[in-house]
Amino acid sequence: MGQDAAEKMREVVDGVYRSDSRRVLATLIRLLGDFDLAEEAMHDAFAAAVEQWRREGVPKNPAAWLISTGRFKAIDGMRRRARFDASLGEIARSLEAAASDTSGWENESVEDDRLRLIFTCSHPALPPDARIALTLREVCGLTTEEIARAFLTAPPTVAQRIVRAKRKIKDAGIPYQVPSQRDLPDRLDAVLRVIYLVFNEGYSASSGSSLTRHDLSGEAIRLGRLLIELLPEPEAMGLLALMLIQESRRAARASPEGDLILLDNQDRSLWNRDQIAEGTALVERALSSRRFGPYTLQAAIAAVHAEAPTAAATDWAQIVGLYDVLLRVEPSPVIELNRAVAVAMRDGPSAGLPLIDALLASGELEEYHLAHSARADLCRRLGRTAEARASYERALALTQQAPERRFLQRRLEELPD
């Protein structure tokens, strides 16, 4: 086979890697019982594919070929290393015995393995930052460097989190399985939280020079789609709906120079109507189930904003009502803050300001820059310039994101002396 043909085959294998590597890895983790061993076996299988497919042609089921090859590569590797560690020989014999009957694993749904992987990476026994790093690494296939860059963290720190998470899964005997119906609500919530944390960092970066990080929000939406494909629970639909509707505004949220544009001032013709339509349909499905939760309610609020042709036409009464329900489902000072802003939009700044002042007085939001910027805005609208200035300055001191800092600085400069 000539050089051109070899390059074409490598492109074919690369394409299979992009489309199927996460599925292959998920099944190898189940079959081999070890993250690192499975990852090594997967890469060995893809390396073998470049040579064997070039000679024998691409198999009818590339993923099954890769799983089988990876498994036997792992067994062979254990046999070789058994000379130095007798326990590996026993493991190799056990895996080889199981491998003699392929019908069991070939008939199991590979998609079930992906769902198992999501739940394992998001297990509540792991620290939140480790859940995020492990999910992005193993489920999404991001490199350690990509994860570190996205979260402005040093690559060695991310690598350590992933190593510790894998060790915890092994040492604690965390099962590689989808939880039972009894345990599903609590475990599903942990999965949804991981996906939402990834999305939030992409939708509104916590620090840095960019307002958003499309790669992260895109990965979160991809995870959300995969989750409802494998497990169509109402709250999973609600979370995907919320992410789609929020993501629909991306093009309108910043100026060409990268400056922040508030919702009221956005050019709504730039909103992605396909994402809004898909998200709204998902909200309706989730609400109709009568088994919805906080993500569905937040998506319903986002849908009310999305349906308004202009900022002035927003149904603030409906939004306040939805926040009332959301607070009963999931009490939170941040949700109370959002409700106070909605009340101010419905009834005027003098109605919302006491609610925000009470929240700040409780101390729970003292370090939350959006609480101070919301208070500053209401004071500005009421003509209480000195208070507005103090609150804008406090918000500015707490903000790490460059576009938000520029926005707050402009607000300060616009205040009358």
- What are the backbone angles phi and psi of residue 254, rounded to the nearest 5°? -140, 150
Q: Where are the alpha helices (DSSP H) in 232-368?
A: 234-247, 273-288, 294-307, 316-329, 333-347, 349-362
pLDDT tens figures, 333-382: 999 999 999 999 999 999 999 999 999 999 989 999 999 999 999 999 99
Confirm if 237 and 212 have CB atoms less than 8 A apart: no
Q: What is the pLDDT of residue 375?
A: 98
**Which tokens hold the place of 145?**
């460097």
> CB within 8 A of 275, min separation 6: which ones?
244, 245, 247, 248
Q: How far apart are CA 245 and CA 42, in angstroms?
A: 36
SS3 assignment, position 230: helix
The predicted pLDDT at position 103 comes to: 45
pLDDT of residue 52: 92
Dump the DSSP string for 56-82.
H---SSHHHHHHHHHHHHHHHHHHHHT
User: What is the Cα gyration radius of the chain?
Assistant: 25
242-291 per-position pLDDT tens digit: 999 999 999 999 888 888 899 999 999 999 999 999 999 999 999 999 88
SS3 205: coil
Residue-level pLDDT at 297: 97
CA 46 distance to own-chain centroid: 28
223 near 280, Cβ under 8 Å?
Answer: no
- Could you tell me the pTM of the whole model? 0.77
Report how far residue 250's alpha carbon sits from residue 221's, in angstroms, rounded to the nearest whole number. 14
Contacts of 268 by beta carbon, 8 Å cutoff, 6+ apart: 252, 309, 310
Rounded to 10°, the helix 333-347/316-329 angle is 160
The answer to whether the beta carbons of residues 364 and 335 sit under 8 Å apart is no
Determine phi and psi for 179, rounding to 5 degrees.
-65, 160
For 201, the token pair is: 């960092």
- For position 84, what pLDDT does the model report? 52
**Residues of the chain scoring pLDDT < 50:** 91-92, 97-108, 110, 207, 209
Backbone angles phi, psi at 290, to 5 degrees: 65, 15
Task: Return the structure tokens found at 15.
Answer: 């394409």
